[in-house]
A and B are shown apart, each in its own frame.
Chain A
Amino acid sequence: MLTIREYVRAKSLEEAYALAQKRNNVVLGGMGWLNLQKRNVGTAIDLCDLGLDAIEETETDYRVGAMVSLRAFEQHQGLQTLSQGAIAESLKGIVGVQFRNSATVGGSVYARFGFSDVTTILMALEAKVELYKAGVLTMEEFAALPRTQRDILVRIIIPKVRRSICYLSQRNTKTDIPVLTCAVVHREGETFAVVGACPRPAAIYPDGGVLAEGITEETARAFGGKVAAEAVFGSNSRSGADYRRKVAAVLVRRAALALKEQEG
């Protein structure tokens, strides 16, 4: 159970940042994950009054505020078009609509879950993370930051780049945490896969030339095999490492073939 001594709605990012430096204080996203923790919190820092619940569009990118709910993220028309429905596909298995109305994009990224559908799709979209103090980082740079570095995630920046993308995941039941997440992306002549929930965090795997002749049954199979051989898989209560490796090969192959179909 989470016990909280004090609740503060921060009036500025500076105030939130200053409060967050104390070890027993905590920043609230949607509270989806926090609420399940056994923890005594000094001050709960709510960012809900800082206007971070908007998705803004510029010439070059979409800027998704940290407090945007997963539901608003999946329903945003511009992002749906940019991702060809892949954002909604990636989030549809996360518990249910009520949960996704509260859980935030910022909390999902900041928590750096290994199993995250959110991280996988954002890596596929080559998103960047904007932190209040550390500035703008790639998803990989953010993942590598020490967890002792306490910052405020302000927004996620998604570049408006033309790409084809297909997202797939494997789950034991429809709304359970995924056994494996996978996105295959084709952009400017390059194809890469993002595979997550291994159960380690998601990572990017370039095609390394196996798709140079185009996507066919054989080359897609080879790409799946290559990713499955390169990725490091582990076991947990949801699945064993061997099963994950087999699923990875299948999902990458299927996603690559689906891309071909999409592109016509």
Chain B
Amino acid sequence: MEIKLTLNGKAVTAHIEADTLLLDFVRARGCLSVKRGCETENCGLCTVLLDGKPILSCATLAARAAGHHVQTLEGLQEEAADFVGFIADQGAEQCGFCNPGFVMNTIALLRENPDPTDDEIRAYLAGNLCRCSGYEGQLRGIRAYLDSKKEG
């Protein structure tokens, strides 16, 4: 079947199988930040934005994304650059595997709630698993970023 959608701002027309997952669709188009971490919808590594909302691309048909806007970290470098340094400064990353999914969902969090409390950050990011358990560092990084913005 043929689908048309927008991937990171560019119009894409493609022939796909009915059961092609959005995860495989975007990876085949060079968006390798989107990873297959668990395939059981638990890890958040495959997070993409569909019309601005974070979803799991491992559980979404590419066919359903037809007519919609899909964004991956490849298309959101500038927005991510704002805060990822703060996370690195906290040494939150160990292997870094969870990072793209975590950054994508943090972008969604900060768009929806620019001034979250620690509990709101934890709740929003609950679906992003870090096998190196860097959660506290990630939280400190986001907090440091938010504090730095307040200080201007």
Contact = CB atoms under 8 A, between A and B. Distances in A.
A99 B127 contact: yes
Interface residues of B, number: 29
Interface of A is mostly: mixed
Given A32-B59, A48-B64, A3 B19 contact: yes
A78 to B, nearest CB: 19
Interface string B73-85: 0000000000000
A98 B127 contact: yes
Contact of A98 (B17, B56, B63): B56
B47 interface: yes
Interface string B123-152: 111111000000000000000000000000
Contact of B59 (A3, A35, A46, A71): A35
A36 interface: yes
Contacts of B56: 98-99, 102
Nearest to A72: B53
A6 interface: yes
Nearest to B123: A92
Contact of A101 (B17, B19, B42, B54): B54
B124 A4 contact: no
Contacts of B64: 28, 31, 46, 48
Interface string B17-51: 11100000000000000000000111010010010
Most A CB within 10 A of own CB, among B50, B54, B58, B125: B54
Interface string A168-187: 00000011000000000000
A2 B19 contact: yes
B1 A31 contact: no
A101 B41 contact: no
Interface in B87-135: 105, 108-109, 123-128
A35 B20 CA distance: 12
19 contacts: A4-B18, A4-B61, A7-B1, A7-B18, A7-B19, A7-B63, A28-B64, A31-B60, A36-B41, A41-B19, A44-B61, A96-B125, A97-B105, A97-B124, A99-B127, A101-B50, A102-B59, A174-B126, A175-B126
